Amino acid sequence: MQVTHTGGLPVEAQDRPRPCRWTGVWRSGSERLVSTLRRGDVLPPAAVAIPGDPRTGELTTRSSLRHFVHAAPGLRDELVERARSAGLLICWVAVLLVPAWTLVDRIEVPERAGVFLAVRLLCDVPLLLAMWALWRLPIGRRRPEQLSFLVLAVVQMEIAWMVVQTNGSGYYLLGFTVAVYGSGCIIVARPRWTAALVGVSWAALGAAALADPGRLTVEDLVALTLYLGTASIIAILAHLRRYALNNRELVTRIRLEREQQRTGVLLAELERLSNEDPLTGLANRRRWDAQLTATCAAARQNGDAVAVVLLDIDHFKRVNDRHGHGGGDAALRAVAAMLTRGLRSGDLVARLGGDELAVLLPGAGLDRAVELAERVRLEATRLQPPGFEAGELTLSLGVAAAAGGHVQAGELMSRADEQLYRAKVTRNSVGAPASGAVLPG
């Protein structure tokens, strides 16, 4: 079918009724408002996604408080404390202002001031109980939202009765809206609690009017509707906006905390990689030098002993020629794994380069270092990586030790290196200064 274009639009499109832009905006806004009141979500200008929502795997500014708590468990105590603090503030204000309003009673309705005061004092009883629960009882930490709502609901039911008794006096209408505004601007809870308080206020006012019919004129009802209707709309919108900003703050905070955690992990991994030999997993030369210097300094200060064992794989070039570089790497890994077994937690094993390995023994004297070196030499002869023959791998080791003020890192390494070269004369040997000669294998 041929379509004729006129004014930039197909004829078929021009024949269809165009949807009203404001209708779409109204529908979208009303749907989001209903969703907010039902689930305690917010109305953000845009969603900022980070991991954490147990339903979708995403945490956004539309998420409810339970999703934030699920994403950041440590946040729960802080949110509860905020809700408790807001609830206690509301309780203090209500407990003090409700009886103090009797001054207005004496001015506005002096003939009923006594009855009103009795009602006010009676209403203070549940307010004081709620305050005590928020302050001292476990329920105050489990249900701060509900207790804060209870306080405001009691106040509204009391004032609703007085509004009818005073024929819609302006003073009491003003007091009737204060709690609604307070809920929207102070209470730390989901917006549905402000909506629930609005519902309680209208219900209490309707019940009081029906219980004493004829007291309110049409003018009074119009004034009541305007006062309470305005307060209801402003309070709900204010609570929605405040809740949205609060959730946006929580999203940003959780994102920053998670980025800090990821950065910490990356920095720790970077630090590990910068101090670790990638082939064997042992400490590298950088970490060895730093640890040796620190250990020697501590030994000089405390009068402790320090021992060093240096070792090479015998005929390592021959090993590479026979088994390839893969075989040489396997031999290094096997020796490294053997060295790390049986050492104390404070000892350090490092690969200094090529096939040269080293063991740092803080607090160890020469005898223990020689004993360790001899045990390592014997265990190396039993190593048999894939493709190797039994006894093919042997080690040459050099030992040096010092104590107290004589401990110097450079001197210790130089002496151990001398003993290593003495051991290489015969191979599969331990060179130690105790006897001034090489201990043969």
Residue among 359, 308, 355 at smallest CA distance from 331: 355
Rounded to an integer, what distance in angstroms lies between the CA atom of residue 61 and that of residue 59?
A: 7
Does residue 182 have a pLDDT over 60? yes
pLDDT of amino acid 349: 95
Q: Give the DSSP H or E segment for 278.
A: none
pLDDT tens profile 281-330? 999 999 999 999 999 999 999 989 999 999 999 999 999 999 999 999 99
Q: What is the pLDDT of residue 15?
A: 47
φ and ψ at residue 57, rounded to 5 degrees:
80, 0
List the single range of 24-38, 130-144, 165-179 with lowest mean pLDDT.
Answer: 24-38
Note the pLDDT of residue 177: 92
Mean pLDDT of 13-24: 48
Query: Which residues lie across from 9 on neighbouring strands?
Result: 6
Continuous segment of H or E residues that includes residue 439 = strand 437-439
Cβ proximity of 123 and 158 under 8 Å:
yes
Instruction: With both helix axes pointing from N to C terminus, report the angle between 409-423 and 285-302 in degrees, rounded to the nearest 10.
Output: 120
pLDDT in tens, 193-251: 999 999 999 999 999 999 988 888 899 899 999 999 999 999 999 999 998 888 888 88
Instruction: Answer whether CATH 3.30.70.270 is correct for domain 285-439.
Output: yes
How do residues 365-386 score in pLDDT, each as one tens digit?
999 999 999 999 999 999 999 9
Q: Is 30 exposed, middle or buried (0-12, 13-18, 19+ CB in 10 A)?
A: exposed
| SS3 of residue 215 by DSSP | coil
pLDDT in tens, 87-138: 999 999 999 999 999 999 999 999 999 999 999 999 999 999 999 999 999 9
Q: What are phi and psi of 183, to 5 degrees?
A: -65, -45
Judged against a pLDDT cut of 50, whether residue 4 lies above it is answered with no
What DSSP character marks residue 168? S
Domain boundaries, the chain: 1-34, 40-259, 285-439
Which pLDDT score is estimated for 66?
Answer: 59
Q: What is the per-residue pLDDT for 24?
A: 53
Q: Per DSSP, what are the bridge partners of residue 58? A: 51
Q: What is the mean pLDDT of the chain?
A: 83
